[in-house]
Structure 1
Amino acid sequence: MKTIGVLGGMSAESTALYYRELNRLVRERLGGLHSAELLIRSVDFAPIAELQARDDWAATGALLAEAARRLEGAGAEAIILATNTMHLNAEAIRAAISVPFLHIGDATAAALTARGVKRPLLLATRFTMEKAFYKDRLIAAGLDPLVPDPADRDRLQAIIYDELCQGVVKPTSTAAGMMMVERGLAAGADGVIFGCTEVGLLLRPEDVGVPVVDTALVHCEAAVDFALG
């Protein structure tokens, strides 16, 4: 089994999900007392969130590249970044390491294609919904992603940062998220991407009514495929 380096803390809530899911998948595939070989570098999210708000992605890229180098130096044989938004810095991270970097967008696109989805609704942070780094990767895979309208993007951003990243899940926010889904389906979406690693804390795939790809879960599957392959 190969050792996976998990670059997390953005937020700690979703990184805990990654830890549980990676170990669950290895146990399911190998049985018994097996668990994943992991190295985790969990950063303090508050300074990174401040840099995000200032649009200083060069600074976040430098921080994450250094963290990835440390994971590789500690023995990681591949790196996964346990957040969608910070894949904006994927190239900076990839340039800093010599081991594979397993991109969450690739795992997401593959899962959407396998489910027959063509026009997924992307529910994520405002950065992921509005900047090109993520949507362009989906488009390159033959998909036509949709995003909520500006008011819904602002609302979802607040839910993610002010609630989910802090371990708070409010029924009113779940209801708001479901309304965003309904509006997306009315606009022509034929699937939904839980495109922030915390959105799975807010919404349940079984409540949506169309195929759902939870990016955190499919990313973990891709990492375990690599580790056991």
Structure 2
Amino acid sequence: MNLLGMIGGTSWHSTIEYYRLLNELVGAKIGTQQNPPLLLYSLNVQLMRENDAEKIKNAYLGIAKKLETAGVKAVIICANTPHMVFDFVQPKLNIPILHIADAIAKEAKQKGFKKLGLLGTKPTMLGNFLSGRLREEHQIETLIPGDSYIDKTHRFISEELTQGKFTDKAKNFYLEQMQILKEQGAEAIILGCTELPMLIKENDTEIPLLDTTSLHAKMATEFILKD
């Protein structure tokens, strides 16, 4: 099996989900008597709260370089928002970063989805690192909540979900946003924050959901087991 480097901590709640899924998915392929070789670097989530783009990019580069030096064959960033560093970090590595947007696109294409609603943090919804890659690399369009809902969509994540608080108020808000995006033409919804799948389950809505945590872990599993 290939040694995988994991950059987690944003938040530790979703990092645990990644670790669990990777072990379960690999075990389902090769038997539970084995588990995958993983090297985890869990950073302090305060880094992201400082909103210093240069500091964030250089921190992720330093961590990725440490993992590369330690012998990992690929890196997975265990959250959506930190993929903002991808274009800065990837060219400076000799190993691949497994991009979460590529995992989303693979599932969307298999199901024939070409227009997706996107829920996540403010940087994820307004930035180009996820929607841009989906559009330019995979010809998939994304829709986001209206301007009056962007801050609230972000606030529930930053103030509640990343701190392990999962409330009915937050759940109902996101379900309402999903319905609005569906009415605007979204064929499925990207749960573009790795805590959102912990709040919203498939049986909570009739709208198809793309669980980025699960899809990203599946991509990583394929890499771990690749010859």
Which TM-score applies when normalising by structure 1?
0.95
Corresponding residue SS for 1:132: coil
Alignment partner, residue 32 of structure 2: 32
- Equivalent of residue 113 in structure 2, options 103, 113, 117: 117
Corresponding residue SS for 1:6: strand
Alignment partner, residue 73 of structure 2: 77
User: Aligned runs of 1:1-229 on 2, under 5 Å?
Assistant: 1-50=1-50, 52=51, 56-140=52-136, 141-229=138-226
Corresponding residue SS for 1:19: helix
Q: 2-side partners of 1:34 and 1:210: how far apart?
A: 36
Q: 1-side partners of 2:32 and 2:9: how far apart?
A: 29
Q: Give, in angstroms, the shift of residue 159 of structure 1.
A: 0.8
Q: Give, in angstroms, the shift of residue 86 of structure 1.
A: 1.0
Corresponding residue SS for 2:98: coil
Please tell me whether the aligned partners of residues 107 and 219 of structure 1 are also in contact (alpha carbons under 8 angstroms). Answer: yes
Corresponding residue SS for 1:120: strand
Q: Give, in angstroms, the shift of residue 9 of structure 1.
A: 0.5
Q: 2-side partners of 1:208 and 1:142: how far apart?
A: 26
Corresponding residue SS for 2:130: helix
Query: Residue deviations 1:71-99, cap 9 Å, x none?
Result: 11122111001111111100222133211
Structure 2 portions without partners, runs of 5+: none
Q: 1-side partners of 2:32 and 2:59: how far apart?
A: 38
Please tell me whether the aligned partners of residues 108 and 213 of structure 1 are also in contact (alpha carbons under 8 angstroms). Answer: yes
Query: Residue deviations 1:115-169, cap 9 Å, x none?
Result: 1111110011110101122111111211111001122221111111111100110
Q: Give, in angstroms, the shift of residue 214 of structure 1.
A: 0.7
Q: 2-side partners of 1:131 and 1:170: how far apart?
A: 27
Output the amino acid matched with 2:23.
N
Q: Give, in angstroms, the shift of residue 28 of structure 1.
A: 0.6
Please tell me whether the aligned partners of residues 61 and 89 of structure 2 are also in contact (alpha carbons under 8 angstroms). Answer: yes
Corresponding residue SS for 1:99: coil
Output the amino acid matched with 1:122.
L
Q: Give, in angstroms, the shift of residue 220 of structure 1.
A: 0.6
Output the amino acid matched with 1:15.
T
Please tell me whether the aligned partners of residues 115 and 211 of structure 1 are also in contact (alpha carbons under 8 angstroms). Answer: no
Which TM-score applies when normalising by structure 2?
0.96
* 4+ runs deviating over 4 angstroms: none
Q: 1-side partners of 2:122 and 2:205: how far apart?
A: 21
Corresponding residue SS for 1:108: helix
Aligned residues: 225
Percent identity over the alignment is 32
